[in-house]
């Protein structure tokens, strides 16, 4: 079985740590990548870390995960609330899926309360800041180590 976890990030998350720190915190996406990689490697797993502002690129990467990844941690950004296409791609993927939101989407505007991705996710994280990514990685490694 693959020992790789894909961590996928959707639109505007390249701005993490550069705008709106009151909502998303001060860490950059590069900081998140460094911490997730270190954690996964300490548990015997590898990480591929991606960000794209383009729905089709995210879908292509989920398709690639079908062959290359045992788990996906995904923060789909605003596509969470709009994208049946990302849900369809995740439904065609057999591994573990964890949905990760930095903010607590349920405490925010009503349009952020519904997620298409949650219908496929094995776990959902929201409101733990960027530490949520590491919690998802830890859970994925834990389940994969037992498999």
Return the residue of 2, 4, 12, 82 that touches ligand CA2, per CB under 6 A.
Answer: 12
Q: Does 106 participate in catalysis according to the annotation? A: no
Question: What's the min distance (Å) between Cβ of 1 and ligand CA2?
Answer: 29
Question: What's the min distance (Å) between Cβ of 105 and ligand CA2?
Answer: 5
Return the residue of 13, 47, 72, 144 that touches ligand CA2, per CB under 6 A.
Answer: 13
The phi and psi torsions of 121 (rounded to 5 degrees) equal -70, 140
Nearest of 28, 10, 32, 31 to residue 20 by alpha carbon: 28
Q: Which part of the chain contacts ligand CA2 (CB under 6 A), choosing from 14-22, 34-42, 43-51, 84-92?
A: 14-22
Q: Does 101 participate in catalysis according to the annotation? A: yes
Residues of the chain by 3-state class (helix, strand, coil), percent to 5:
50, 20, 30
Which residue's entry shows tokens 């383009």?
A: 54
Question: What's the min distance (Å) between Cβ of 68 and ligand CA2?
Answer: 24
Number of H helices, E strands in the chain: 5, 5
Return the residue of 20, 91, 142, 145 that touches ligand CA2, per CB under 6 A.
Answer: 20
81 annotated as a binding-site residue: yes
Give dist(CA 102, CA 85) in Å, integer: 22
Q: Give, for 71, the enclosing helix (H) or strand (E).
A: strand 71-75
Under rule CB under 6 A, residue 130 binds ligand CA2: no
Q: Would you name the residues annotated as active-site residues?
A: 24, 101
Annotated binding-site members for substrate: 75, 81, 88, 102-103, 112
């Amino acid at each position: 079985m693959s020992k790789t976890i894909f961590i996928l990030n959707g639109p505007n998350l390249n701005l993490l740590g550069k705008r709106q720190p009151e909502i998303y915190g001060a860490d950059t996406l590069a900081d998140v990548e460094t911490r997730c990689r270190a954690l996964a490697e300490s548990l015997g797993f590898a990480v591929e870390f991606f960000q794209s502002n383009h729905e089709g690129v995210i879908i292509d990467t989920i398709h690639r995960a079908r062959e290359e990844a045992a788990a996906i941690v995904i923060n789909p950004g605003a596509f969470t609330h709009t994208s049946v296409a990302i849900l369809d791609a995740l439904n065609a993927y057999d591994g573990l899926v964890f949905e990760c939101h930095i903010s607590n989407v349920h405490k925010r505007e009503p349009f952020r309360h519904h997620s298409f991705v949650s219908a496929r996710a094995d776990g959902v994280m929201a409101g733990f800041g960027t530490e949520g990514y590491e919690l998802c990685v830890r859970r994925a490694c834990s389940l994969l180590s037992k498999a």
